[in-house]
Structure 1
Amino acid sequence: MQSVDDAKVKAARKSLEFVEEGMVVGLGSGSTATHFIRLLGERVKAGLKVRGIASSRASEDLAVSLGIPVIDFRSVQTIDVAIDGADEVGPHLALIKGGGGALLREKIVASAAKQFVIVADASKVVALLGKFPVPVEVIQLAEPLVSRRLTDLGLHPTRRHAKDGSDYITDEGNFILDCACGEMADPAKVAAEIRAIVGVVEHGLFLNMATAALVADGSGVRKLAR
């Protein structure tokens, strides 16, 4: 039986079909995106010429170690294709992302991409978003205020902690509140309510952003379009 990790590799390998010579490629974060970066590194070693823009320090460090040239938005303002994973993939390619803590930079990279392609295993596809908590990145100073407002909205926030029990701090120096929203009939409404709170930097609802999703299961990889 195919493991989840095998499915992720299969989806990541399929996503290489979106990458062409000379492209600027958005490099996602997390386990599935890591598979993609490693596979892209093999292609670069074989002679493919691309440049990458990373959505986290971890992805940037990995790309550099593999010989993938990494640039930033001072060099270009448009990404040809961004490849990333997701915590949930819902109807119309609505996504929850940020389980790995890189949601802000992931959304910046996705917003600059002509194509935003999700790679995932079949377990990530859901009928309604919300079983996975929605991460909300917040300014440290505002965290108690934001937490209270999220609680008032019925979103059940919990401060994220690192594995050693300390406060989890994002690459940009912020806290994350994970919101146990439950299944959402109207994720756009929830996204708007969260965004309206002063002190919120970004949230993990990626709506109307993905152009395709490559989903791997035991029978192969299927492409979902919005």
Structure 2
Amino acid sequence: MYMTSSSVGESDQNVSKKNAGYYAAELVRDGMVVGLGTGSTVFYAMERLAEKIRDGMNIVGIPTSYQAECRAREYGIPLATLHDYTELDIAIDGADQIDPKGFLIKGRGAAQTQERCVAAASRLFVVVADVSKQTPSLSAPVPVEVIPSAASLAAKMLSAMGGTPVVREGVKKDGPVITDNGNWIIDCTFAEIPDPLALETDINNIPGVLSCGIFAEFTEKSKIVIGKKESAEIMLF
């Protein structure tokens, strides 16, 4: 169990996220290479890592997105890439949904492809989330990164799998969301996802798809940290 002090005016959800992020940061040891995910809960982990760096800890961060890279630089976290390190000690990342078996849906930030690469390279995959992300079964739209020329084909094949695909539109930008890799995101809703691992494999095998947001293959090396208002705890699955 881990607990941080809260600031006046902080919402319960932000306190929960901070507890989860700080817990994950305490798993990082001097000399580690650390995958840095995208999202608000991971940024709390970066905040704590920055404090530890100022106290003398040496680490190298591998960001999963431009957003994560920019935030890490603001915090003074030294950075490298997967070209420099193909094996990481630990990766800290968030999730949009978490089911009781530790299966995840990620990708609301459109960074799931690079997040998958960093997770695959890591010995330990630490997922940080507040309690609102826990769900009895995965039900959120599944983000699918696809090269633009294959978007219509991918949408057709997703429909054949029982999904309802919709190209994600930009905010304050006309047209589709463009990922850091220069691709589009299709958000695909399924009435139910009884076998996340099988669906993940089927979607990732669609020609033109880089990666989907179902993360079901990393459970054996995952540690899921659930933040609450009072503390953070490891989820058992």
TM-score under structure 2 length normalisation? 0.90
Q: Which runs of 4+ in 1 moved over 3 A?
A: none
Q: 2:132 aligns with which of 123, 143, 162?
A: 123
**C-alpha distance in 1, partners of 2:79/2:146?**
27
Indicate the residue corresponding to 1:25 in structure 2: 34
Q: 1:163 aligns with which of 168, 171, 191?
A: 171
Q: Is 2:174 the counterpart of 1:140?
A: no
**Residue 73 and residue 165 in structure 1: after superposition, are their counterparts in 2 closer, same or farther (change >3 A)?**
closer
Identity of aligned residues (%): 36
Where do 1:36-55 residues align within 5 Å? 36-55=45-64
Aligned residue pairs total: 225
Would you say the 8 A contact 2:197–2:217 is kept in 1? no
Indicate the residue corresponding to 1:223 in structure 2: 234
1:208 Cα deviation after fit = 2.8
1:185 Cα deviation after fit = 1.3
RMSD of aligned residue pairs (Cα, Å):
1.5
Indicate the residue corresponding to 1:214 in structure 2: 225
1:220 Cα deviation after fit = 2.2
**C-alpha distance in 1, partners of 2:187/2:53?**
37
Indicate the residue corresponding to 2:3 in structure 1: none
Where do 1:1-226 residues align within 5 Å? 3-130=12-139, 132-166=140-174, 167-210=176-219, 211-226=222-237
1:128 Cα deviation after fit = 0.8
Q: Which runs of 5+ in 2 are unaligned?
A: 1-9
Would you say the 8 A contact 1:92–1:208 is kept in 2? no
Would you say the 8 A contact 2:15–2:229 is kept in 1? no
**C-alpha distance in 2, partners of 1:196/1:153?**
12
**C-alpha distance in 2, partners of 1:93/1:34?**
22
1:99-139 Cα distance to aligned partner (Å, 9 max, x none): 11100000000000000001100111111112x11100000
Would you say the 8 A contact 2:99–2:137 is kept in 1? yes
Would you say the 8 A contact 2:168–2:186 is kept in 1? yes
> Larger deviation: 23-32 or 42-51?
42-51
Q: Which runs of 5+ in 1 are unaligned?
A: none
